[in-house]
Amino acid sequence: MQVPILDLKAQYETCKTDVIKAINTVCENQSFALGPAVADFEEKIAAYCDCKYAIGVSSGTDALIVALMALDIKPGDEVITSPLTFFATAGSIARLGAKPVFVDVEGDSFNIDATGIEEKVNEKSRAIIPVHLFGQLAQMKPITEIAQRYNLGVIEDAAQAIGASQDGIMAGNFGDLGCFSFYPTKNLGGFGDGGLVTTNSTALAEKARILRDHGQNPRYIYGIIGGNFRLDGIQGAVLAAKLKYLDGWNEKRGQNAAIYNDIFADSPVKIPSIEANNVSIYHQYTVTVPDRDNLHKYLSENGIGSAIFYPKALHLQDCFSYLGYHEGDFPVAERLCSEVLSLPVYPELTEEQIETIARAVLKFYGRD
Ligand SMILES: Cc1ncc(COP(=O)(O)O)c(C=O)c1O
């Protein structure tokens, strides 16, 4: 049995009629950049995220850039974040001339360890970007408390966490701004790139809207320098059409994770650890395992897709060598980079497929 890490075609089959109808509307009205489809999506996604404002942008990366610009992050400023994340989190900080300052992660949740943040705060610190990795929120109470104490901005990198919550509050509502990605492989994926900035601040929402369109307000009058960070009309239409399926898809991912968890009990496979106050959307089902690289290869040879998020922590990437970090600086993140493996968890998987994958993993460890 062949099982890919993700099967977008299978998902398309479940929502095809709605999506084609939505795309067709944009073709008919020819509003390709922002326009009514994006406005409609923004209204729906703001309600879904339970936040006041949602601003559609061109990608999750651009959401981070817009959020950082909205907080006026400038060259020389320091922004604290996790070294175990997708490149864009730290890349966006560096692209604005600011300095990414890393704090190690928790071994269980894979998210930034809030207890390590305060010692990194100095007079140059301006913001914290917690990343809600794999669909589970970082612990936001201690993070926002530190931010308040030192007057730092908070930007949630919720690219992997649309629909996830903590203490009953949806991702994107804890910080000054929340950033989401609609890259096609995300739980809510577009038909191309797309992203979103959320906020409950009227002033920040206004600024983010202006920034995403070159800084113009009104038209052809530029008070601040922004960029072309606009969301396409077609993406807005597709995302709005898919949104009504999202809760069902997220729920199914949770059920799939539970099947794996049962089978992996009392085995060398450490299952994902979800904090008691979190509801995860299982963007990834990520286990930690011994002999990870050989398991990854074994699964591939047996037709089973799996993925490594991430093989190298950001503080050890060549492009960040100027920051002066060394191996051993963030031992938890570094260890996880050699132990994590994400298994297929997409909603359209059958129970039989999940069992086949899990049995193959156990067979690798001689546990038939
Ligand atoms: C944690 C995280 N941050 C930022 C991004 C950037 O999003 P995008 O690929 O839409 O630019 C991603 C997604 O790839 C991500 O996973």
Residues 204-223: tens digit of each pLDDT: 999 999 999 999 999 999 99
b/e code 21-46 from CB counts within 10 Å (16+ = b): ebbebbeeeebeebbebbebbbebbb
Is 1 inside a domain boundary? no
Q: Is the pLDDT of residue 349 over 80?
A: yes
Is 255 inside a domain boundary? yes
Helices H / strands E in the chain, number of each:
10, 12
Q: Is the pLDDT of residue 368 over 80?
A: no
Tokens representing residue 339 in the block = 């132990």
Question: How many angstroms does the Cα of residue 318 sit away from the middle of ligand 1?
Answer: 20
Judgement on whether residues 102 and 139 belong to the same structural domain of the protein = yes
Atom of ligand 1 nearest to the CA of 61: 11
- pLDDT score for 1: 82
Question: How many angstroms does the Cα of residue 36 sit away from the middle of ligand 1?
Answer: 25
Judgement on whether residues 232 and 251 belong to the same structural domain of the protein = no
CATH number of domain containing 254: 3.90.1150.10
Is 298 inside a domain boundary? yes
Residue ending a domain, choose from 208, 240, 272: 240
Judgement on whether residues 195 and 340 belong to the same structural domain of the protein = no
Structural domains of the chain, count? 2
Question: How many angstroms does the Cα of residue 194 sit away from the middle of ligand 1?
Answer: 10
Rounded mean pLDDT, 323-340 = 98
Question: How many angstroms does the Cα of residue 115 sit away from the middle of ligand 1?
Answer: 25
Judgement on whether residues 211 and 252 belong to the same structural domain of the protein = no
Judgement on whether residues 179 and 295 belong to the same structural domain of the protein = no
Residue ending a domain, choose from 222, 240, 258: 240
Is 91 inside a domain boundary? yes
Which protein residue's CA is at the shortest distance from atom 8 of ligand 1? Answer: 60
- pLDDT score for 12: 97
Is 265 inside a domain boundary? yes
Judgement on whether residues 67 and 184 belong to the same structural domain of the protein = yes
- Quote the CA–CA distance of 235 and 20 in Å, as a whole number: 12
Judgement on whether residues 173 and 261 belong to the same structural domain of the protein = no
Whole-Å CA distances, 332 to 113, 133, 217, 282: 10, 15, 46, 21
Atom of ligand 1 nearest to the CA of 62: 11
Instruction: Please give all residues whose beta carbon lies within 6 A of any atom in ligand 1, as ranges.
Output: 59-61, 85-86, 88-89, 131, 157, 159-160, 181, 183, 193, 195
Judgement on whether residues 71 and 156 belong to the same structural domain of the protein = yes
Is 288 inside a domain boundary? yes
Judgement on whether residues 259 and 208 belong to the same structural domain of the protein = no
Question: How many angstroms does the Cα of residue 86 sit away from the middle of ligand 1?
Answer: 6
Is 331 inside a domain boundary? yes
Is 227 inside a domain boundary? yes
CB 186 within 8 A of CB 283: yes
Question: How many angstroms does the Cα of residue 357 sit away from the middle of ligand 1?
Answer: 27
pLDDT in tens, 230-285: 999 999 999 999 999 999 999 999 999 999 999 999 999 999 999 999 999 999 99
Judgement on whether residues 182 and 266 belong to the same structural domain of the protein = no
Judgement on whether residues 211 and 272 belong to the same structural domain of the protein = no
Domain carrying residue 261? 246-364
Choose one of 61, 82, 185, 309 to mutate for the ligand 1 pocket test, by most ligand atoms within 8 angstroms of C-beta: 61
Question: How many angstroms does the Cα of residue 345 sit away from the middle of ligand 1?
Answer: 19
pLDDT in tens, 113-164: 999 999 999 999 999 999 999 999 999 999 999 999 999 999 999 999 999 9
Judgement on whether residues 49 and 139 belong to the same structural domain of the protein = yes
Q: Burial level of 330, CB count in 10 A (0-12/13-18/19+)?
A: buried
Which protein residue's CA is at the shortest distance from atom 7 of ligand 1? Answer: 60
CB 254 within 8 A of CB 349: no
Share of the chain above pLDDT 90, in %: 99
